[in-house]
Structure 1
């Protein structure tokens, strides 16, 4: 059954027929399903959509297996209960609580339980990624299924919780064009932060930075471990050079130190955390600051205002 309320289109289906369940799931990816145990089978799918963006809740009472084509959209899968295992044709595997379904390759998948699926328009993701990084839209690419870290996965879940429960659930809010755009933009920006992609570490403006491989490796390590207590020595090891050489390379090619870049990344993650958080859940600016390594809340607030033109409290209370 499909029900439309203004901008939000809601769709709910239930079935005890495995073949019918397969047909409903073809909206996410074309796939050939393996045998399904019919006894006790039940399938429920509920989606809320705004244009090409949707958040869906899928429940399976039995395990399913499939050989799937690349997804047409960017689809992030969260395991709220149960399990998912995906292996793409390149040999990459994922069995985490947050998985980006491969839109770059065929893949084999097994899943069961309760999943939440967030669907985004890849053309819009590429457009936003290009604006943020300076890359051309065709050069905005994802090719890895798992988030940068467990912390990034948790951040994605909080972000989708916010959009799902606090925005999409309310038709009066989604009737406002600016809020519809905000909901989509938050998810797109979150995907570009959470899942490894070509925009991470790209220099805004589209200029060739001329950064050597050692600096790019260091930046990639910082991007992937920004939620951890990492040291310059660990970053230098990842870059395959000594700490003093790394410091010199960063100053020469980026005009900053590795720790300054780390603070910049953490500030960006804190910003997205504040956007996704709900103060009604007891989240405070101090909590977010501490979560991202800022021990002094006052200095964090001053640096945040300089970076984003408002206080972190204003962002949290939006």
Structure 2
């Protein structure tokens, strides 16, 4: 005669066995990932801006994943076109975005109504890749030898600064510098760093505020002078350049890049991608390429990266004064 206790125990064993079978049945779907090439959408044209970092990570990640990671360049609108494409993509782990401060922090903070996607709702964070400081540049023959000299002069003289566009990350960064230093300077937006630097060398503008890493080569060649950088510490690649923080001007924002997937991407796939991104960042090839021009690799996976994005959005929102919003409004 079967007792109640033995029947209960038998049912428990059957339930556990069934759960195990279901678990085994579910595993191959994730264990097989990736079964095809992964697409990395980059909001820059080939060879421009973050495309170099996108290709660096795509190559390294492809080697660790065992499948090619193909760069899909979707340039335009400061990276917002690329972000929108990924926000609307199938959440299966085969479409990723090279996210950056511009399209996942500045745009949502400064003009959320002008972008067709929502942050963080439309994305799942995979991991941060790197941070690069913004820098204050002058021409090689500028009368300003230090950032302190320039900021002091701005209190009594009408100075101007160039940026690569109104409302871009570097523009907002310089607005933070102005606010923290208590100075006024005329903003002159340009379409790209080339014309901005040309005019600065020609004396049409006094300085240029931009992401430092792409211009470090010109600093080393003596064409430009880098007076100060954003961030909390000096960069080992340019140890003689002080931070704004050292000058009492606390501007922590940086240009960053990371990987995100569409919202709804399965958690095991996101974890798998985050682990392999960490492996890629640990390789000497990737680490040395990132550090060469004063950027810093930063392995911050998943929820940590999501928190980082939210904190950066809050920083940019704090800079969104009525006057600034009026300047960048279309």
Q: Please say whether Structure 1 and Structure 2 have the same fold, judged by a TM-score greater than 0.5.
A: no
Normalising by structure 2, we get a TM-score of 0.25
Structure possessing the higher relative contact order (Cα contacts under 8 Å, 6 or more residues apart): 2
- Give the greater-gyration-radius structure (CA): 2
